[in-house]
Structures are given as structure tokens and as C-alpha cells.
């Protein structure tokens, strides 16, 4: 029986992508115990987890932000009797953690993030446009290097426990026709379909009597924009801030389709088995961050010699025109939605 520590601290989508691997390994290896170290606020994503998976929270924006705080946390952590440490992140903080475990003689295995291959994929000159391995596969590689072999059995967070939808019916109503989710925002501009064009998509879909639209996003400016769309168009409902994460995931699991940027919502939908039409600009599905189990043909993008220019979407457009998003049209998005849903 092995005691395994799994480390992945951020970002939200990347942490979500560990779940199919963690849950599959845990179910295949009930004799082993797995502890996941991640940001404390991300622990609710790990819902309905196998009984041999425990969670441990860290706050790198608070108590563990400074080197002193991280070392204090690390010294307490290494006292736990883990046999194997899997670093699925490989950043400075996790290097410090894993080094302390190595000094105690623990077996440590680290993800290969393919940094050279990513650099070639996003290069301005001599770009090598070839698909990199999915991150879920790279996570699984770390398990197998440690001798923790398993089959990928994960299907959904609600595979064993069906979602409870009754609590949401005051907002969603009873399901009739097609439920379409739209997650129109992302952290960086290079990953956001222009809001004016997205409004055209929402306006067109709202005219379809068989469709109900649910808008997902963050607080602040995102919520304000979505609230305006909700007020302006029929059969459109903004759900931001109305539900806890487990209820929001339950709602996503009930959608017939989610339209999303390259963002955490794409990965949340993938965790509950919901089909995603995804819109890509500065980033690219070839980077390895495509949604788990999603169909390659459901990615909407324009082929440009400069794409992708970034793995995470945080690189300014060196052309200055954001052509990767500007050349996408509402018609392209609507055609893909209608094709996926048959409406």
C-alpha cells in the first residue's frame, strides 16, 4: 500500500484536468491512498471523489505567498509519511516542496511540460505546428513512471452520484428543449471572442423557442455584461453568483452543449461529460490543453501563420490587430452550434 502525494497548485483549468487521472488511478488502485495538494479555494472542484482520495489546501496568495511562509508549510508537510510524491506542476514552489521530500529519501516524479516543444509551437519564425500530447496524458505519465499503472476509466464527476437539480429550478425552471451554456470570457484578451460578436450569437440563439441559454462567468464586469444580455434577450439567464460550484457543475452536466473560450469552463464541462464548442484565438488545441474527451472538430479557429502565439493567451498581439479572434464571425459560431445540436 502506497501513500501518494500529488501536487498541482494552479491554474483552475490545469487543476481540473488532473481529476480524470487522479480519480481513474484511485479507483484502479484502492489499496493505495492519494492526497492532492492544491489551492484551498479549488478543493470544491474535487467533488464526489473516490474514498481513497484526500485533499490538502495551500494558499499561495496568503499565508504561503512568501518564501518564509512556503518553507514553514513545507516543513510541516514533509513530516507526513508519504512514500511517493508526484509533481504535476514543476514550478519554483513545487521544486522547493519536492526537494525537501527528496532530502528525506522519498521517491519523487516530475511532469515533463515539454517547454522546448511549446516554444517551437508558439515561435514567430520556424514555427512547428504539430500537436503536443494532452496534459491529461502527461499527468498519467508521471503516475506510470512511479509504477502506479491504471486504465483511464473516468467519465464524469456525476458518474456514481447523479446531480441534484431541484435546488436550481427556481432559476432554471424545468428542462424543456435544448439547454445551451455560454461562457463568453477568459482571463486574457487573446482568448476572448469579441463581446459584440458574442452578443450577436446570443441574440440569434434567443430567437429559437426550443433553446434556453445559461451564461457563465466571473463577477464584476463579466457579470454586469451578462446581466445586460439577460435583460435584453428572452430565454437568457445569467447564473453567475447564484449557485455554489457543485450546483453550477450540476447545471453544466444538464446542458446539451456549452460554448466556451479556452478557459476553465471548457474543462468543467469536460469533467461532467458535456459537449463543448470551443473558440480559440491566440492559443491552440495543439498546445495540449484541449478539453478531456472533447471532439477535435468542435474547436472553432482560423488558421493564421502567427497562430498560436501563446500557450496561455497572455502574450500581446505582435501584429496589433488580434486577427485570430477578429476574423472569426458569429456565423461560424452559430453554424457549429446548430450542427452540434441539430437545430
The whole-number pLDDT of residue 172 equals 81
Per-residue pLDDT, averaged over 56-67, amounts to: 94
What is the C-alpha to C-alpha distance for residues 10 and 104, in angstroms, rounded to an integer?
A: 26
Q: Is the pLDDT of residue 12 over 90?
A: yes
The whole-number pLDDT of residue 241 equals 87
Q: Do domains 3-145 and 174-341 have the same CATH topology?
A: yes
SS3 245: helix
Identify each DSSP E strand in the chain by its residue range.
3-7, 33-39, 53-58, 84-87, 107-110, 178-183, 211-215, 236-238, 257-261, 276-279, 299-300
Whether residue 213 contacts residue 184, with contact meaning beta carbons closer than 8 Å, is answered with no
Q: Is the pLDDT of residue 250 over 90?
A: yes
**Sorting pLDDT into bands at 50, 70 and 90, what band is 319?**
very high
pTM greater than the 0.85 cutoff:
yes
Domain 3-145 architecture: 3-Layer(aba) Sandwich (3.40)
C-alpha cell at 317: 498581439
Tens digits of per-residue pLDDT, 140-167? 999 999 999 999 889 999 998 888 777 7
**Sorting pLDDT into bands at 50, 70 and 90, what band is 244?**
confident
Residues in the chain: 343
SS3 40: helix
- Written as one string, the DSSP assignment of 138-160 is HHHHHHHHTT---------TTSS
Q: Is the pLDDT of residue 139 over 80?
A: yes
The whole-number pLDDT of residue 59 equals 95
Tens digits of per-residue pLDDT, 80-124? 999 999 999 999 999 999 999 999 999 999 999 999 999 999 999
Tens digits of per-residue pLDDT, 259-292? 999 999 999 999 999 999 999 999 999 999 999 9
Q: Is the pLDDT of residue 170 over 80?
A: no
The whole-number pLDDT of residue 174 equals 83
Whether residue 26 contacts residue 45, with contact meaning beta carbons closer than 8 Å, is answered with no
Q: How many CA atoms lie within 13 A of 158 on its CB side?
A: 19
Q: How many CB atoms lie within 10 A of CB 44?
A: 12
Per-residue pLDDT, averaged over 180-193, amounts to: 97
φ, ψ at 251 (rounded to 5°): -65, -45
Q: Is the pLDDT of residue 171 over 80?
A: no
SS3 254: coil
Q: Where are the domains of the chain?
A: 3-145, 174-341
**Sorting pLDDT into bands at 50, 70 and 90, what band is 229?**
very high
Spatial CA neighbour of 298 closest among 327, 268, 270, 264: 270
Q: Is the pLDDT of residue 242 over 90?
A: no
**Sorting pLDDT into bands at 50, 70 and 90, what band is 34?**
very high
Percent of the chain with pLDDT over 70: 100
What is the C-alpha to C-alpha distance for residues 302 and 319, in angstroms, rounded to an integer?
A: 15
**Sorting pLDDT into bands at 50, 70 and 90, what band is 180?**
very high
Per-residue pLDDT, averaged over 47-60, amounts to: 97
The whole-number pLDDT of residue 165 equals 79
Is pLDDT larger for residue 242 or for residue 304?
A: 304
Per-residue pLDDT, averaged over 313-319, amounts to: 94
What is the C-alpha to C-alpha distance for residues 185 and 262, in angstroms, rounded to an integer?
A: 9
Q: How many CB atoms lie within 10 A of CB 50?
A: 16
What is the C-alpha to C-alpha distance for residues 245 and 261, in angstroms, rounded to an integer?
A: 19
User: 174-341, which class in CATH?
Assistant: alpha beta
Is pLDDT larger for residue 171 or for residue 206?
A: 206
What is the C-alpha to C-alpha distance for residues 183 and 261, in angstroms, rounded to an integer?
A: 7
Radius of gyration of the chain (CA): 21
Amino acid at each position: 500500500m502506497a501513500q501518494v502525494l500529488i501536487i498541482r497548485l494552479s491554474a483552475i483549468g490545469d487543476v481540473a484536468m488532473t481529476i480524470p487521472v487522479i480519480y481513474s488511478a484511485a479507483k484502479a488502485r484502492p489499496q493505495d491512498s492519494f492526497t492532492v495538494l492544491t489551492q484551498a479555494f479549488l478543493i470544491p472542484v474535487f467533488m464526489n471523489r473516490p474514498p481513497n482520495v484526500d485533499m490538502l489546501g495551500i494558499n499561495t496568495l496568503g499565508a504561503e505567498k512568501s518564501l518564509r511562509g512556503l518553507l514553514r508549510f513545507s516543513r510541516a508537510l514533509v513530516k507526513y509519511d508519504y512514500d511517493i510524491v508526484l509533481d504535476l506542476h514543476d514550478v519554483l514552489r513545487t521544486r522547493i516542496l519536492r526537494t525537501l521530500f527528496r532530502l528525506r529519501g522519498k521517491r519523487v516524479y516530475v511532469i515533463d511540460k515539454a517547454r522546448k516543444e511549446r516554444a517551437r509551437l508558439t515561435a514567430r519564425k520556424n514555427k512547428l505546428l504539430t500537436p503536443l500530447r494532452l496534459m491529461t496524458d502527461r499527468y498519467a505519465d508521471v503516475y506510470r513512471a512511479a509504477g502506479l499503472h491504471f486504465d483511464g476509466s473516468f467519465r464524469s464527476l456525476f458518474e456514481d452520484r447523479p446531480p441534484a437539480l431541484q435546488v436550481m429550478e427556481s432559476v432554471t425552471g424545468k428542462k424543456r428543449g435544448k439547454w445551451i451554456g455560454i461562457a463568453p470570457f477568459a482571463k486574457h484578451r487573446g482568448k476572448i471572442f469579441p463581446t459584440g460578436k458574442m452578443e450577436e450569437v446570443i441574440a440569434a440563439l434567443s430567437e429559437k423557442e426550443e433553446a434556453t441559454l445559461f451564461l457563465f462567468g466571473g463577477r464584476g464586469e463579466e457579470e454586469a455584461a451578462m446581466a445586460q444580455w439577460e435583460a435584453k434577450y428572452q430565454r437568457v439567464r445569467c447564473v453567475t453568483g447564484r449557485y455554489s460550484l457543485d450546483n453550477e457543475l450540476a447545471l453544466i452536466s444538464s446542458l446539451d452543449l456549452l460554448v466556451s473560450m479556452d478557459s476553465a469552463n471548457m474543462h468543467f464541462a469536460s469533467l461532467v461529460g458535456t459537449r463543448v464548442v470551443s473558440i480559440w484565438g491566440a492559443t491552440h488545441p495543439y498546445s495540449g490543453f484541449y478539453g478531456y474527451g472533447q471532439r477535435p472538430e468542435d474547436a472553432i479557429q482560423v488558421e493564421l501563420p502567427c497562430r498560436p502565439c501563446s500557450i496561455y493567451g497572455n502574450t500581446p498581439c505582435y501584429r496589433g490587430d488580434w486577427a485570430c479572434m477578429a476574423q472569426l464571425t458569429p456565423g461560424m459560431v452559430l453554424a457549429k452550434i446548430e450542427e452540434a445540436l441539430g437545430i
